[in-house]
Amino acid sequence: MLPDTLRWNDKTKQLEILDQRRLPREVSYLRCSTVEDVARAIETMAVRGAPAIGIAAAYGVVLTNPMTHDALKESLSRLARTRPTAVNLFWALNRMEKVAEGTKEALLGERLLTEARQIHFEDIEINRRIGINGAKLLPDTSIVITHCNAGALATGGYGTALGIIRAAKEQGKNIKVYVDETRPVLQGARLTAWELFQDGVDVTLICDSMAPFVMKKEKIHGVIVGADRVARNGDVANKIGTYGLAVAAKYHGVPFIVAAPVSTIDPACLEGDKIPIEIRKAEEIRKLPGGMEVPEEIPVWNPAFDVTPKELVTAIVTERGVLYPPFEEAIARLFA
């Protein structure tokens, strides 16, 4: 049984966040009592993954104190400044803002908590549907590659990309998964490998640079990844390294499958170049395994995400069905 990624404690009125920085060594929770606690947990990646960030932020809004319309504005703006790329954050904050509009101050706390819970539990249901829709794309015996963590840990539960793997396994399919370790924060090695192993999935960890060679050596039935934001034309922002994986998949004729809830599609964003890419601290790259460090004088560039052009994407699996190229038209129909 996997620990919950996020849980609201009704007694203490705290948001309990599974501290993913400590996984897999330790399962422990951060107890957040203020908006600032939640904002810092998102910034430092104690909670991460596009849907989970959105859900955490929604609960974060509930911690506004005093619960007034003015204070709420501050909370929304603080939480919106945490991480720029995953659109689910802004989508969830918009939902919270809409609920607050026109609600009397005395009722704000209760209404906002109900909405945060709704966003949380809807997400699990959405992931199950993504799983069922995506599992159809996998043959009964499949070998797949995944990158980063788009699992239960990155969502309200079940996962998007890993939801497809879970659903396929639940249907009795025989699935083997190669997991990229995902430098520099190692979400693949620390989170995905652990998450899938706990669920009894046949999992093998590889370094990011090994994925193309795996595609050359073995019949791979799909690369399955999550997304932080999908532009209106179908370009996909996801964890750094996804683009290279998509290029290798194209070369080897491997289907490149993106799993994402509709809330990850940003119809206001015309193309991938317009997606804001978070640049994170150099120390994430400087700190090497075994306690070694790259000297401070050496410049480092640490973009947390890249953009995979739509031409490299075979399918986008959502809770409302599977989108195929031309994505611009498929996405327009979805939002029509």
Q: Which residues are catalytic?
A: 228
Nearest of 14, 83, 90 to residue 54 by alpha carbon: 90
117 annotated binding-site participant: no
Peptide bond into 261 cis (omega under 30): no
Binding of ligand MRU by 145 (CB under 6 A): no
Smaller CB distance to ligand MRU: residue 18 or 100? 18
239 annotated binding-site participant: yes
DSSP per-residue letters across 216-264? HHS---EEEE--SEEETTS-EEEETTHHHHHHHHHHHT--EEEE--GGG
DSSP per-residue letters across 10-44? TTTTEEEEE-GGGTTT---EEEE-SHHHHHHHHHT
Smaller CB distance to ligand MRU: residue 229 or 310? 229
Contact 212, 306 (CB under 8 A): no
Interface with ligand MRU in residues 160-179 (CB under 6 A) = 160
Interface pick for ligand MRU out of 184, 226, 241, 272 (rule CB under 6 A): 226
Q: How far is the CB of 95 from ligand MRU (least distance, A)?
A: 18
- Binding range to ligand MRU, per CB under 6 A, among 1-9, 89-97, 148-156, 198-206: 148-156
- Binding range to ligand MRU, per CB under 6 A, among 5-13, 44-52, 90-98, 317-325: 44-52
- How many other C-beta atoms are found inside a 10 Å radius of the C-beta of residue 210? 15
Contact 147, 243 (CB under 8 A): no
- x/- mask, ligand MRU, residues 51-80, rule CB under 6 A, reads x-----------------------------
| Cα gap 69→108, rounded to integer Å | 9
Which residues are annotated binding-site positions for substrate?
Answer: 48-50, 83, 187, 238-239
Q: Which residues bind ligand MRU (CB under 6 A)?
A: 48-51, 86, 148, 150, 154-155, 160, 187, 226-228, 238-239, 304
